[in-house]
């Protein structure tokens, strides 16, 4: 500690933080001129309520506050003209003319909406993920946005939690790669360029571990699990250069994240070297009052001292910090430090050079919803789909077949974009009915709805907060079902599009029953009873429990919520123009009783039998096996792949050395395809209990029919490391097992020893 202080003193005023970023002279000069009120003003983030308000309040008197220098940034305002009005107020009418940050939730595309993040992660294609983020940045910046509340990198292992839709699933390794790709996509190599925006990593931290999957709930987690399983994606996003971080609503070790000094200063800044700024989530500062940490002044003091720089919507900083300064509860230096970080972000995004650099009125027309972007959205969507089952090769469908297209999501434009797409335009989304007709114009397609998404009006009302996503038909469920069976009977093949409406997952959309609603289950059963081949196209924002449907003799294509090109992409895959290659990034449980469920579990001291049978006094259930319905990394293709010849380049390595695994993968089926080759590692003996196995590498490769390829996956020295009881990142000598294959149950294995 003493040494560190000395070092910082030595570096003097020219540097701060472990990352030692140089102070920016323009910012320092500006700080000299600022009153304390103006500094506090920069810490205030408001929304005039134009977008989606995710809390109970929206900001008032925004214009007057901007003029008074009481606003550092806005969100919920978009379009060059509108943003210009706000920016001109700040630049021309506030005393110091400091431009505003303009934030937005660009979670999966801006106007060109691509698949929900959980879907995107299922592509396991990091270059596509980066491109998707880059496209989102291009569109959002064309509309005046310079700061994005994304990526959301919360590890989630409880599919009851609706916000699983917004992240990359359960795995810290994959989650880290995706975090990095997204930050790079948004921020590019030059943050002051007019088509890049600041990333904001959220929700720091552990939000995905809300107890019982209930949104905004308490989190209770030990440090070993935190460091090894939940923190890596945030850390990876910081290492990739993310300029801002958003705190989470939950508490971490008893202190709400927004006021948690250990989290925001000791870990984020001092240990990880983060030198950007930290913003609260929507009123999460004020919510510390309800958490039980004191009144607004007390929690605002706590948050500032903890390392929070900007207060989203709650105005706790704006209304209490001056008083706290006068009373000696915070120092001017505390306020200046926070203000400096906000100003530095503005500086690096180029706003001081030209506050209007994101406000070219010609750009929206030129850069938004272009043909190129829609093509990318279609490609991304097709690559996000996961083929869960393909009984008797029902898929792909030949275009000369008579198709019965049935289901409440088959022609439901309002459910294609998915949760958190406030900037998307529902009317542009392509439905499955339209997509099939676009891709196979000469095919015979008969459509009928067949069932409501849910027959329960009370449930529908709760889901329909942003508009009618669950529309309950005027016909009776029996009439709809009969019509569906009649249509099905005249067809060669049935495509049934079923699952969750968009707002059945996402924020504040937790469910304790994550099965397909009963109305649709009935429909599925009736369709299967016709004896016709049935392909289920399953939409959802989370893993669902589908044990009964999985037993049926059907094909199941999981499509998440695919975005604006939904129908076209689904048709591409159903007709075999693209062979599905997605893999699950979250385990699918058999029932909610298995939750939390994830692949990198500990073996425990009493492992259950490998074949899933029950054994007394072992860790297992009386009623279901431990194994999930579908493991992490799982996904089929229209073709088949075989793995052989797994070899390591060494049997023994020393500390600091890497190792490479080579395997032969052969396309043994009848279609060209793509496969995600996955490598898992088990650290056989170590000082803290190792997970059963952990993902440590993957490659997505194309393979032509009949083709074989040798694939090499290299493990770097860090891939062998973990956080020990002292929270040191170490690797320990001993035996390691390497597994390579098509999912997290990969069987081919080799061993090596770390000396």
Q: What are phi and psi of 673, to 5 degrees?
A: -160, -175
Pick from 537, 436, 558, 438: nearest CA to 116: 558
Task: Please name the helix (run of DSSP H) or strand (run of DSSP E) that holds residue 37, with its range, or none.
Answer: helix 36-42
**Spatial distance between the Cα atoms of 309 and 335, rounded to a whole number of angstroms:** 8
| Tokens at 128, concatenated | 């596509």
Residue 735: count of CB within 10 angstroms of its CB: 12
| Tokens at 525, concatenated | 């059963």
- The distance in angstroms from the start CA to the end CA of the chain is 32
Instruction: State the minimum distance, in angstroms, from the CB of residue 429 to ligand NOJ.
Output: 22
CB distance 119 to 129 below 8 Å: no
Of 125, 154, 251, 281, the active-site residue reads 281
Angle at which helices 332-348 and 296-306 cross, to 10°: 60
Q: Name, in order, each residue with C-beta under 8 angstroms of 416's C-beta and a sequence gap of 6 or more.
A: 426, 429, 430, 431, 502, 561, 562, 563, 564, 566, 567
Instruction: Identify the residue among 282, 347, 358, 634 touching ligand NOJ (CB under 6 A).
Output: 282
Pick from 144, 163, 143, 141: nearest CA to 154: 163
- The distance between the two most distant Cα atoms of the chain, rounded to a whole number of Å, is 82
> Is 281 labeled as catalytic in the residue annotation?
yes
CA dihedral for 396, 401, 404, 408, sign (positive or negative):
positive
Instruction: State the minimum distance, in angstroms, from the CB of residue 282 to ligand NOJ.
Output: 4
Pick from 261, 215, 123, 89: nearest CA to 560: 123
Q: What's the CA angle centered on 417, arms 525 and 242, to 5 degrees?
A: 130
**Spatial distance between the Cα atoms of 255 and 265, rounded to a whole number of angstroms:** 13
Q: Which of residues 48-87 bind ligand NOJ (CB under 6 A)?
A: 54
**Spatial distance between the Cα atoms of 310 and 245, rounded to a whole number of angstroms:** 10
Per DSSP, the three-state class of 13 is helix
Instruction: State the minimum distance, in angstroms, from the CB of residue 253 to ligand NOJ.
Output: 20
Which residues partner with 33 through β-bridges?
A: none
Which residues partner with 22 through β-bridges?
A: 15
Instruction: Identify the residue among 16, 114, 147, 149 touching ligand NOJ (CB under 6 A).
Output: 149
Q: What are phi and psi of 40, to 5 degrees?
A: -65, -35
| Tokens at 78, concatenated | 């978009």
CB distance 528 to 439 below 8 Å: no
Pick from 283, 273, 217, 221: nearest CA to 247: 283
Measured CA distances, 690 to 176, 270, 528, 683 (Å)? 20, 28, 44, 6
64-73: string of b/e by CB count within 10 Å (b at 16+)?
A: ebbbebbbbb
**Spatial distance between the Cα atoms of 90 and 79, rounded to a whole number of angstroms:** 17
**Spatial distance between the Cα atoms of 85 and 87, rounded to a whole number of angstroms:** 6
- Give, as one character, the DSSP assignment of residue 198: E
CB distance 247 to 204 below 8 Å: yes
Instruction: State the minimum distance, in angstroms, from the CB of residue 50 to ligand NOJ.
Output: 11
Q: How far is CA 253 from the centre of its chain?
A: 24
Q: Which is nearer to ligand NOJ, 376 or 504 (CB)?
A: 504
Between 499 and 518, how does the x/- string for binding to ligand NOJ read (CB under 6 A)?
A: --------x-----------
- Give, as one character, the DSSP assignment of residue 207: G
- Contact between 281 and ligand NOJ (CB under 6 A)? yes
Q: Which of residues 167-226 bind ligand NOJ (CB under 6 A)?
A: 202
Taking the CA atoms of residue 693, residue 157, residue 573 and residue 695 in that order, the dihedral angle to the nearest 10 degrees is -20
Q: Which of residues 103-142 bind ligand NOJ (CB under 6 A)?
A: 105
Between 224 and 253, how does the x/- string for binding to ligand NOJ read (CB under 6 A)?
A: ------------------------------
Residue 676: half-sphere exposure toward Cβ, Cα within 13 Å: 29
Instruction: State the minimum distance, in angstroms, from the CB of residue 321 to ligand NOJ.
Output: 22
DSSP assignment of 417-484: S-SS-TTS-GGGPPPHHHHHHHH-TTSEEEEE--S-S-S-HHHHHHHGGGS-SSPPPSS-HHHHHHHH
Radius of gyration of the chain (CA): 26
Residue 373: count of CB within 10 angstroms of its CB: 23
User: Active-site positions?
Assistant: 281
**Which residues of the shown chain bind ligand NOJ in the complex (CB under 6 A)?**
54, 105, 149, 202, 281-282, 507
């Amino acid at each position: 500690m003493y040494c560190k202080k000395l070092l910082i003193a030595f570096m003097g005023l020219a540097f701060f933080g472990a990352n030692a970023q140089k102070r920016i002279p323009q910012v320092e000069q500006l700080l000299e001129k600022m009153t304390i009120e103006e500094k506090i003003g920069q810490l205030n983030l408001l929304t005039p309520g134009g977008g989606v308000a995710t809390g109970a309040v929206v900001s008032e008197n925004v214009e007057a506050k901007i003029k008074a220098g009481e606003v550092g940034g806005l969100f919920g305002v978009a379009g060059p003209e509108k943003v210009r009005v706000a920016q001109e107020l700040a630049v021309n009418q506030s005393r110091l003319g400091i431009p505003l940050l303009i934030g937005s939730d660009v979670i999966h595309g801006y106007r060109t909406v691509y698949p929900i993040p959980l879907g995107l992660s299922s592509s396991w294609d990091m270059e596509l993920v980066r491109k998707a983020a880059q496209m989102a940045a291009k569109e959002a910046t064309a509309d005046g946005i310079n700061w994005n509340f994304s990526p959301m990198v919360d590890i989630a292992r409880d599919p009851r939690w609706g916000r699983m839709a917004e992240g990359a699933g359960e795995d810290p390794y994959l989650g880290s790669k995706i975090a990095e790709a997204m930050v790079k996509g948004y921020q590019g190599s030059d943050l002051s360029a007019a088509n890049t925006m600041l990333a904001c990593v959220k929700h720091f931290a552990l939000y995905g571990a809300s107890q019982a999957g209930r949104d905004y709930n308490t989190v209770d987690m030990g440090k070993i699990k935190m460091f090894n399983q939940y923190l890596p994606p945030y850390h990876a996003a910081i290492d990739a250069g993310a300029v801002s971080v958003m705190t989470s609503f939950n508490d971490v070790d008893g202190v709400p994240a927004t006021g948690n000094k250990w989290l925001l200063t000791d870990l984020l800044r001092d240990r990880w070297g983060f030198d950007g700024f930290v913003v609260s989530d929507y009123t999460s500062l004020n919510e510390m009052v309800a958490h039980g940490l004191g009144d607004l002044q007390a929690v605002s003091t706590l948050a500032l001292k903890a390392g929070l720089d900007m207060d989203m919507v709650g105005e706790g900083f704006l209304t209490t910090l001056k008083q706290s300064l006068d009373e000696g509860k915070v120092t001017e230096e505390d306020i200046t430090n926070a203000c400096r970080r906000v100003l530095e972000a503005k500086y690096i995004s180029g706003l001081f050079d030209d506050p209007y650099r994101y406000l070219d009125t010609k750009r929206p027309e030129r850069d938004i919803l272009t043909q190129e972007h829609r093509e990318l959205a279609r490609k991304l969507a097709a690559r996000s789909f996961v083929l869960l089952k393909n009984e008797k090769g029902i898929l792909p469908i030949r275009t000369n077949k008579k198709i019965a297209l049935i289901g409440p999501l088959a022609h439901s434009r309002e459910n294609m974009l998915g949760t958190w797409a406030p900037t998307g335009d529902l009317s542009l989304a392509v439905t499955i009915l339209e997509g099939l007709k676009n891709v196979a114009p000469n095919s015979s397609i008969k459509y009928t709805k067949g069932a409501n998404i849910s027959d329960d009006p009370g449930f529908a009302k709760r889901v329909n907060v942003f508009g009618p996503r669950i529309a309950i038909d005027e016909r009776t469920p029996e009439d709809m079902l009969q019509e569906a069976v009649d249509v099905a009977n005249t067809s060669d093949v049935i495509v049934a599009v079923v699952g969750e409406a968009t707002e059945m997952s996402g924020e504040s959309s937790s469910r304790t029953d994550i099965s397909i609603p009963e109305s649709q289950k009935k429909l599925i059963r009736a369709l299967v009873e016709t004896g016709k081949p049935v392909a289920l196209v399953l939409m959802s924002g989370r893993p669902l429990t589908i044990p009964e449907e999985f037993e049926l003799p059907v094909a199941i294509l999981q499509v998440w919520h695919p975005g604006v090109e939904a129908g076209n992409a689904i048709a591409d895959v159903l007709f075999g123009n693209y062979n599905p290659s997605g893999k699950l990034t979250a385990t699918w449980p058999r029932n909610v009783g298995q939750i939390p469920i994830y692949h990198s579990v500990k073996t425990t001291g009493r492992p259950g039998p490998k074949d899933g049978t029950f054994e007394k006094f072992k860790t297992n259930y009386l009623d279901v096996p431990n194994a999930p319905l579908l493991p992490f990394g799982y996904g089929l293709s229209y073709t088949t792949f075989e793995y052989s010849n797994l070899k390591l380049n060494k049997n023994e390595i020393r500390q600091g050395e890497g190792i490479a695994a080579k395997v032969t993968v052969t396309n043994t089926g009848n279609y060209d395809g793509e496969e995600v080759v996955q490598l898992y590692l088990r650290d056989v003996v170590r000082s803290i209990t190792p997970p059963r196995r952990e993902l440590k590498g993957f490659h997505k490769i194309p393979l032509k029919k009949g083709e074989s390829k040798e694939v090499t996956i290299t493990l770097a020295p860090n891939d062998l490391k973990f956080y020990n009881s002292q929270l040191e990142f170490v690797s320990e000598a001993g035996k390691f097992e390497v597994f390579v294959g098509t999912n997290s149950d990969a069987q081919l294995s080799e061993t090596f020893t770390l000396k």
